[in-house]
Amino acid sequence: MNRAPPSVWRRPTHFFAFGLGSGTVPWAPGTFGTLAAIPFYWIMAELPLGWYLGIVFVAFVVGVWLCDKTSHDLGVHDHSGIVWDEFVGYWITMAAVPFSWEAALWGFIVFRIFDVFKPWPIRWADRRVAGGFGIMIDDVMAGIYAWSTMHLWYWLH
């Protein structure tokens, strides 16, 4: 566990990379980061799919920069408190899923499972891809796996 630096509250890049402060929680910051993404999903779920995906894409691109800058500033690659990647991964999970609290909960659980266990090739990317893109890509991949699982479940029911 890495302690959250005080710069989280002073530097906007660190504040956003730390998921609006949700990554400062001393235990399970990724889980708290994912929880913090849910209210934004609730708002975004009402948007047309194109707008939703556009926001997620911009959040990814900005996230690559945020995560790279913050990890460089802190001198720690993928500090445990950097959770912007969890925001984006969760939003990918929930793309085109109609909002309900049950869906939001299931998406949270499914995303966290893929993010924690990192099945192939997620674990490979997590270990071999560096920089801000490396911080983001494993959660994007976990989000794609979780998105597939959510839509498969909806299709079967």
Determine the pLDDT at residue 2.
64
Length of the chain: 157
8 Å CB contact between 90 and 41? yes
8 Å CB contact between 71 and 135? yes
Work out how many domains the chain is built from and give that number: 1
105-147 pLDDT, tens digit each: 999 999 999 999 999 999 999 999 999 999 999 999 999 999 9
Determine the pLDDT at residue 16.
97
20-63 pLDDT, tens digit each: 999 999 999 999 999 999 999 999 999 999 999 999 999 999 99
In a domain, 1, yes or no: no
In a domain, 53, yes or no: yes
Chain centroid to CA 12: how far? 18
Determine the pLDDT at residue 152.
94
The CA-based angle 68-74-77, given to 5 degrees, is 55
In a domain, 65, yes or no: yes
In a domain, 33, yes or no: yes
In a domain, 119, yes or no: yes
Domain that holds residue 117: 6-156
In a domain, 47, yes or no: yes
8 Å CB contact between 143 and 123? no
Q: pTM of the full predicted structure?
A: 0.95
